[in-house]
Amino acid sequence: MSLHNIRLEVMQLLERKIDSFMEEFLIPVEKIWQPTDLLPNSNNENFLEEVKELREISKDLPYDFWVTLVGDTITEEALPTYESWLMNVEGVNAEEKENGWNKWIRHWTGEENRHGDVLNKYLYLSGRVNMREIEQTTQHLINDGFDIGTSNDPYKNFVYTSFQELATFVSHNRVALIAKKYGEKKLFKMCNLIAGDEMRHHLAYSEFVNQIFKVDPSEMMLAFQYMMKQKITMPALFLRESGDKIGTAFEAFSDSAQRIGVYTASDYVDILQKLNEKWDIGNINGLTAEAEKARDYLMKLPERMRKISERLIIPEEGHIFKWVEPALIR
């Protein structure tokens, strides 16, 4: 049987468990938080006072924090790209509304959609950013798409989502802690809740991989090695400001995130190590000779990457983004 057909069979096998996955890892609409739960309520008489308080507190947040928060928001708002990409994965039939994987992706998208929504509204109310520049960058990022090197292979895609959901958990959680440090309780709460969503999603996608390891261990190991060899690219890799070329803003955004400790090269290595441990790859049996070599590579990779990450030098001075110029004004 071809690898293509085996992957389809495995996806169909997992599809039978979709309802239980959704019950375990997703939250019904009526029970989950919504953006208006976390923002000043425009129906209240004291709405303007709440907005004024939010704007006053936000003045103390540092420049690199705003760059990171804006970059995170733009990344979240490029959700249409991620949904369309997942709908093209082998075993996901976008034309069949009742297909289990189709159902999972729609509900996952519904949860994710709240993240960009609430962060965008917060940025708008804060008065510390240039919303039109942010909106242009967001539209560019959606227009430009992204290439994460997975093609439509479900195994590679699930490695990517397992890694990326954990990375976004780290990022939003750190942003929340910095906001709390500066006394911004509303932003702390919303980023903390977003981080909680990302952790649930990470647990889901990593469980999909765990299930695949049980039935097709060698091919799953090879897919894991492939993704880590080429390195996990961030969804915002093609980030750019208005008037600039594709991808020209990502490095400066990444530098800002590293300078304030929101997401660093060391975090990348930590996530890889956690995935190795979560999937217990050292104890997986029945591997082909090629998959054994792939496992050896993955087991040694964190230490190698740790040494490289320790040598990285982040510029002390940051790029002045058009998005965040108002944040420089005190």
SS3 318: coil
- Torsion angle in degrees (nearest 10) through CA of 129, 132, 134, 138: 160
Give dist(CA 153, CA 89) in Å, integer.
Answer: 6
Would residue 316 show up in a list of annotated catalytic residues for this protein? no
* Residue tagged active-site, from 197, 207, 216, 219: 197
* Residue tagged active-site, from 15, 72, 112, 117: 112
* Residue tagged active-site, from 72, 73, 115, 137: 115
* Residue tagged active-site, from 33, 135, 144, 233: 33
* Residue tagged active-site, from 76, 207, 216, 241: 76
Would residue 296 show up in a list of annotated catalytic residues for this protein? no
Would residue 72 show up in a list of annotated catalytic residues for this protein? no
* Residue tagged active-site, from 72, 165, 216, 219: 165
Rg of the chain over Cα atoms, rounded to whole angstroms, equals: 21
Instruction: Compute the C-alpha angle 206/209/214, nearest 5°.
Output: 130
* Residue tagged active-site, from 168, 207, 219, 264: 168
* Residue tagged active-site, from 198, 216, 219, 267: 198
- Beta-carbon contacts of 325 under 8 Å, excluding residues fewer than 6 positions away, are 130
Would residue 66 show up in a list of annotated catalytic residues for this protein? no
Query: What is the 8-class DSSP label of residue 170?
Result: H
Hey, what are 80's tokens? 């249409």
Q: What is the dihedral sign for C-alpha 240, 109, 15, 218?
A: positive
Would residue 108 show up in a list of annotated catalytic residues for this protein? no
Would residue 76 show up in a list of annotated catalytic residues for this protein? yes
Would residue 90 show up in a list of annotated catalytic residues for this protein? no
Q: Would you name the residues annotated as active-site residues?
A: 33, 76, 112, 115, 165, 168, 197-198, 201
